[in-house]
Structure 1
């Protein structure tokens, strides 16, 4: 099918030459066989505007037996097929978020989203596949970490998922287990930390050994790049000087230490002749090394997160404990850094926008969770690092990216679905709308707006960084492998409907 030559992104446009039927009323989004939608029957999405990383056209999409069965014009179906009128809606591939933290133990506490609550929030936000983390402890192996994470996740997940393994210790047996995980467990990516000494930090030799092993097997090492030992010293000096408020989290994690570690990680990957992926890039100090390396032809890939595009370090200009909601690692940076991030997203020096959804409650005891953000009330170094964001990723990026002309619709899909699926061995099963791909489909209304409130979101977290903010765009319906799981504010999914997705080799392209 030939895409239309002109891809207008104005949601108010109703010019038929631009492929825009009039935006639908609530009634128009209804279906002809609504009851069957929730039970996995064949579904035809009629007349929506299909947006992929490369295409933009109006068509019908037939979903059958969990996959996309046909794409075409005026597809005829029988009475056994439920028909959804998608006139005026975007038909997007389900979002792929390759950086989330459900039930992740951080010191004496745990992220407040379970696999159930976190993946339900993901679904309402238009994300149908997540990649979480299995943490290797000091005494077990990557295989033990995978088994433990799957035992918890499998009965709970509402969307499809996979796992990265956080490797904290490297020896010959660990490398053998890594090879086994890649060949037999469908886990082909491994995260390592250059930060948090004594907890998760790996030394350069361990990172190099993993890069060489994983790269030779067709996988990818994802690296948290900060100079952990210097940052640890800065934290101790700040506390010794009596600086305890949350703002000092940012002041003790300067961007230059992210940049130094990023450069070091790139050179380790170059020596290992392996691809490398940098998580949550926040600053130009890091980005400039990534850009230079890619110009040299080194296979370096990287993500940023919505919060680095939405907020800057001005939020730290106070000593209020409420600032703890912005304590994430790396911290928020300067407005100039945001401009460099947007440029890198446009020119593909950053390839993915993931959330790093790592939620901790501000109110101690909320839903029974203890030792959350309030743990650091008198010591910023004890504040659990992280923030929520899994449910607001697509709509916030549509609002600040597409609607403001910073991202095309195709690039929006590429960053939030297609490229993460490719880089982490999920494509073409995930990340696109194509015949034979999983029928993970989002119907998105560009003409609607919504005001974000934590009380109306589906995460267990008691706050959102976007509280009270009105955003353009709204997820209307979400299908997971052809089954309707979200219909406006109605939930049709169930715990355990999601599946573990074994992954293949990375597409380091």
Structure 2
């Protein structure tokens, strides 16, 4: 099947230029001016629009068992929602239980993900340590295309990795040519602050940000960066939410350390006033970790994206319905942590970033797609509109607009943290692996059409390590 995208402005991370794009099968086969449409090709008119690489969401949780429940979006509904918003690849998380084999958990997640409508790949969390974890990490890198390992520095008495685990796992990742990623919050501090608040009778969602202040995140970010520096490994900090964590990343990068930072679309535009709402259902719906912060933190995150010290944008898409969130109605520590966003990230970042002049269109492509592809070794298969790349392409209408609402979204969960926000700049067409899966509101997602994306180790010799 051929698709011919006519007359648009191709926007890659390095430049923008007028060009037609020809796709055959699941690949881009030609990009250039005044190309001829192949016989019987489906023609997409992109005049007056941008043609960009499909978005890569570096941080999602589909079908995640968490805090006694399971997220509302499974791999089909979550990836389908992503396609409707211009995200063609998700990076999800395999999270083994303590003492569970990493390989066992990985195969479980692979089974769940077989229904995906768009491409997917995995970070695998290291939640405990012994010799079997050391061996499983090697097998995951060598045989299963995993080159990133996640470490939760939060969630004491559950999946929190202590410093011994961090050191051993970071070292093993370096041997294998993989990159460690971290959820940076001091789990011990969070736990103690939670207990103090409960003892004081502060039990509602307004307590959530009080139990996870910026200092808690900054301490963990600094510690992870210091450990990585001593060991000589790169490190990727997920969902950076505060100025203090960004400062730690910026300092390290100024000294030449390879530290990468991720910002969530929600943290870029939503502030902590949501937790003060008299509508407790509304406040609970915004409970995620790290929490939404004050407005000056948002300004810092935009500066980080613009200045190159934050590299990717994601969502931490982890949807729970009101009934699930109500499990914590009498104890904020029992509110399932998570919000949605996979369907809205691209439009929110464009509207708040490009329309305001904070980002150029090429910088937008960089922080929504290309940097992720490069950091996690999927480039140039992903993250660029060029001959030979996957035909994951979005046609972007910079003048199109929509008002975000849970009533009209494709994602599940019944709530949207961007509710009521009108965005200018929306996807008109989405191609995934050369298939036209979204066209002006018509979602044509196919269950099981998504493919697992293998990500090679970062060095030629790493696959032979151990």
Partner of 2:108: 148
Partner of 2:180: 221
The separation in 2 between residues aligned to 1:172 and 1:452, in whole angstroms, is 48
1:380 to 298, 316, 332: 332
Partner of 1:19: none
Contact 2:99-2:128 at 8 Å conserved across structures: no
SS of residue paired to 1:99: strand
Partner of 1:114: 74
The separation in 2 between residues aligned to 1:341 and 1:424, in whole angstroms, is 21
TM-superposed CA distance for 1:318, in Å, is 4.1
Instruction: Give every structure 1 segment of 4 or more consecutive aligned residues whose post-TM-superposition deviation is greater than 4 Å.
Output: none
Q: How many aligned residue pairs are there?
A: 458
The separation in 1 between residues aligned to 2:137 and 2:39, in whole angstroms, is 50
Deviations 1:261-281 (CA, angstroms, capped at 9, x unpaired): 111111110111101000000
Question: Scaled by the length of structure 1, what TM-score is found?
Answer: 0.88
Query: Does residue 480 of structure 1 match 2:432?
Result: yes
Shifted more, 311-320 versus 170-179: the winner is: 311-320
Partner of 2:15: 55
Distance 1:181 1:464, change over 3 A: same
SS of residue paired to 1:456: coil
2:367 to 415, 430, 433: 415
Query: Does residue 299 of structure 1 match 2:251?
Result: no
Map 1:352-391 → 2, pairs under 5 A: 352-362=312-322, 364=323, 372-391=324-343
Map 1:46-445 → 2, pairs under 5 A: 46-154=6-114, 156-318=115-277, 320-321=279-280, 322-362=282-322, 364=323, 372-445=324-397
TM-superposed CA distance for 1:216, in Å, is 2.3
RMSD of Structure 2 on Structure 1 (CA): 1.1
Structure 2: 5+ residue runs without aligned partners? 460-466
The separation in 2 between residues aligned to 1:165 and 1:464, in whole angstroms, is 27
The separation in 2 between residues aligned to 1:260 and 1:284, in whole angstroms, is 12
Shifted more, 393-402 versus 140-149: the winner is: 140-149
The separation in 2 between residues aligned to 1:330 and 1:130, in whole angstroms, is 20
Deviations 1:194-216 (CA, angstroms, capped at 9, x unpaired): 11111010111110111111122
TM-superposed CA distance for 1:112, in Å, is 0.8
Structure 1: 5+ residue runs without aligned partners? 1-40, 365-371
Shifted more, 433-442 versus 315-324: the winner is: 315-324
SS of residue paired to 1:450: strand
Deviations 1:405-430 (CA, angstroms, capped at 9, x unpaired): 01111110000000011111211111
Contact 2:92-2:122 at 8 Å conserved across structures: yes
SS of residue paired to 2:31: strand
Question: Scaled by the length of structure 2, what TM-score is found?
Answer: 0.96
Deviations 1:1-54 (CA, angstroms, capped at 9, x unpaired): xxxxxxxxxxxxxxxxxxxxxxxxxxxxxxxxxxxxxxxx11110111100101
The separation in 2 between residues aligned to 1:120 and 1:45, in whole angstroms, is 22
The separation in 1 between residues aligned to 2:411 and 2:391, in whole angstroms, is 25
TM-superposed CA distance for 1:474, in Å, is 1.6
TM-superposed CA distance for 1:72, in Å, is 1.1
